[in-house]
Amino acid sequence: MILEGRFWHPQRGLTDGCVAIGDDGTIKRVAKTISGAKERVRGMLLPAGLDMHVHFRDPGFPHKEDWASGSTAAACGGITAVVDMPNTQPPTDSPAAFADKARRAATASVVDFGLGVSARPGISRETWFDELPAAFWKLYPYGISWEDYQSTATEVTAAGGHPLVIHGEHPSHIAPGPPRELAEHTAHRQLAEAECLAGMPASPQLHVAHLSTADGLAGLPVGATAEVCPHHLLLNLDACDSLECKVDPPLRTPRDNAALWSGFRDGRIAVLASDHAPHLPEEKASGAPPSGIPGVETMLPLMLQQVVTGNLELGRLVNAMAEAPADRLGLSRGRIARGQPADLIEVDTKATRPVVLERLHSRAGWTPYEGWDAIFPQRVWRRGELVAADGEPQASRGGQPLFTAQP
């Protein structure tokens, strides 16, 4: 297949030309002209997204999401590769649990996938520490003391190998008790992010998930990388005051939004990730809802709309959604260039339409973005195969692991 039109060239930016895709699903050639039958691109061709932070809930909670529903939502929103977090049931914390989840994903996922593996004290001494083809280690702050949280972060980052992704809040810095309203949830953890990050090792192995505050950004450990989620850029306590929007880290203030935008625009926060955290609508509507906001399908559409309104440069979005997460995870992908997987989205910047819950594919069944302007990709290719068109799935299954064991 040869696609012809405007595309995002990793060095030159928007460029007119042709992209030839081989039967093996990789990009064979990128040139001004290529002979042969061509298909015209409407709008522009961009690298598809790699979302390095999703919760697809399988095994354990498939009624909230499973690999089929989560990956379909991802594909329809222009994401062709995800990394799933280990807080499933059982947790992904051993080679056996890893193999089980990888098998589920390989059976049902339409997008390519990596798996985060739960870190714990002493994990670097496990015989499989250097061999397990994890995307990264993920350290959760629950059920572990602050001292152990710190020492485990130091242990794992010093051991090398996979990056360590941390949740940048620890319960020891959070006021206890269930919140009666959303603002109280936020108030309980006012300084938690800054206090947690101040105690984390300065290491290029460290990656801070879902950065949410101006103070956290100012206090990022030296050498660490970070990600930001659409809800911490676009939402705050003024925009959403229902407990439904309870999420960890919580929604904050417009001042925090502005600081995160600034860090995101200038690349201090390199990566855009959704932290797609589906829970059922009845759970979210209850008086004591679990934390989490779904977002894998709306992330790129909402951010493409930010590009159209002039809030964000297109090149910065391409970097944050495709290039930077690939580089952070040591993957050769995310660029429209020879040899890369043909993971592409066709985007028409004139095709703004509102987010409509009925047209989304997550089992979450709710979104805080109902009615928001967005630009859904017209077509989405995963390794050269059309997997979504006009926000609807065109394929099922076929996802492959992003990381495999070294022989």
Interface ranges with ligand DOR (CB under 6 A)? 55, 87, 167, 247-248, 277, 291-292
Least spacing, CB of residue 82 vs Zn ion, in Å: 12
Least spacing, CB of residue 64 vs ligand DOR, in Å: 9
Residue 335: contacted member of Zn ion, ligand DOR, none (CB under 5 to 8 Å, by partner type): none
Residue 248: contacted member of Zn ion, ligand DOR, none (CB under 5 to 8 Å, by partner type): ligand DOR
C-alpha 77/C-alpha 376 separation (Å) is 6
Least spacing, CB of residue 227 vs Zn ion, in Å: 10
> Which one, 104 or 316, has the nearer CB to ligand DOR?
104
Least spacing, CB of residue 100 vs ligand DOR, in Å: 18
Residue 190: contacted member of ligand DOR, Zn ion, none (CB under 5 to 8 Å, by partner type): none
C-alpha 397/C-alpha 317 separation (Å) is 27
Residue 346: contacted member of Zn ion, ligand DOR, none (CB under 5 to 8 Å, by partner type): none
| Burial tier of 282 (Cβ tally within 10 Å: 0-12, 13-18, 19+) | exposed
Closest-CA residue to 209 (of 160, 262, 276): 276
Q: Quick check: 77 and 301 in contact, CB under 8 A?
A: yes
> Which one, 60 or 133, has the nearer CB to ligand DOR?
60
> Which one, 292 or 391, has the nearer CB to ligand DOR?
292
Residue 51 touches Zn ion, criterion: CB under 5 A = no
Instruction: Please report, for residues 62, 70, 206, 385, 397, the alpha-carbon distance to residue 21 in angstroms, rounded to integers and kept in the order given.
Output: 35, 27, 36, 10, 20
> Which one, 167 or 316, has the nearer CB to ligand DOR?
167
Interaction pattern, residues 192-231, with Zn ion; x per rule: CB under 5 A: ----------------------------------------
> Which one, 70 or 292, has the nearer CB to ligand DOR?
292
> Which one, 69 or 340, has the nearer CB to ligand DOR?
69
Cite the active site residues: 275
Residue 167: contacted member of Zn ion, ligand DOR, none (CB under 5 to 8 Å, by partner type): ligand DOR
| Edge-to-edge strand ranges of the sheet holding 112-118 | 49-54, 79-84, 112-118, 136-139, 164-166, 206-208, 225-228, 271-272
Residue 256: contacted member of Zn ion, ligand DOR, none (CB under 5 to 8 Å, by partner type): none
Window 272-311: residues binding Zn ion (CB under 5 A): 275
Q: Quick check: 293 and 245 in contact, CB under 8 A?
A: yes
Interaction pattern, residues 246-275, with Zn ion; x per rule: CB under 5 A: -----------------------------x
> Which one, 200 or 322, has the nearer CB to ligand DOR?
200
| Burial tier of 122 (Cβ tally within 10 Å: 0-12, 13-18, 19+) | exposed
Q: Which residue bears the tokens 């659409």?
A: 230
Residue 26: contacted member of ligand DOR, Zn ion, none (CB under 5 to 8 Å, by partner type): none
Least spacing, CB of residue 204 vs Zn ion, in Å: 22
Least spacing, CB of residue 221 vs ligand DOR, in Å: 19
Which residues contribute to the site for Zn ion (CB under 5 A)? 275
